[in-house]
Homo-oligomer: A and B are copies of this chain.
Amino acid sequence: MDTVARLTILLFIISSLIHHISSSQTIRLPSEASISTSYCDSWRLAVETNNVGQWKQIPARCVESVAEYMIGEKYESDCEVVGKFSAEFVKGVTVGGDGRDAWVFDIDETLLSNVPYYQDVGFGSKIFNETSFNDWVNLADAPALPASLSFYRKLQELGFTIFLLTGRSEHQRNVTEANLLFAGYRNWERLILRGASDQGKSATSYKSEKRQELMSEGYRIHGSSGDQWSDLWGYAVSTRSFKLPNPMYFIG
Spell out A's residues near B (CB within 8 Å): 3-4, 7-8, 11-12, 14-15, 18-19, 22-23, 38-39, 41-43, 45-46, 48-53, 73-74, 77-78, 80-82, 85-86, 88-89, 240-243, 245
Contacts and interface: CB of A to CB of B under 8 A. Distances in A.
Given A19-B22, A41-B77, A43-B81, 13 more contacts: A4-B4, A7-B7, A11-B11, A15-B18, A18-B19, A38-B77, A41-B74, A45-B45, A45-B245, A46-B85, A49-B243, A51-B82, A52-B85
Contacts of A51: 81-82, 85-86, 242-243
Contacts of A243: 49-51
B4 A42 contact: no
Tell me whether chain A's interface is mostly helix, strand or loop, or mixed.
helix
Contacts of A38: 73-74, 77
Q: How many copies does the complex hold?
A: 2
Most buried by B among A51, A78, A89, A243: A51
A140 to B, nearest CB: 29
A15 B22 contact: no
Nearest to A1: B3
Contacts of A82: 46, 51
Nearest to A26: B26
Given A4-B7, A45-B78, A53 B85 contact: yes
A159 to B, nearest CB: 22
A50 B239 CA distance: 13
Given A49-B49, A81-B42, A240-B53, A11 B4 contact: no
A82 B18 CA distance: 45
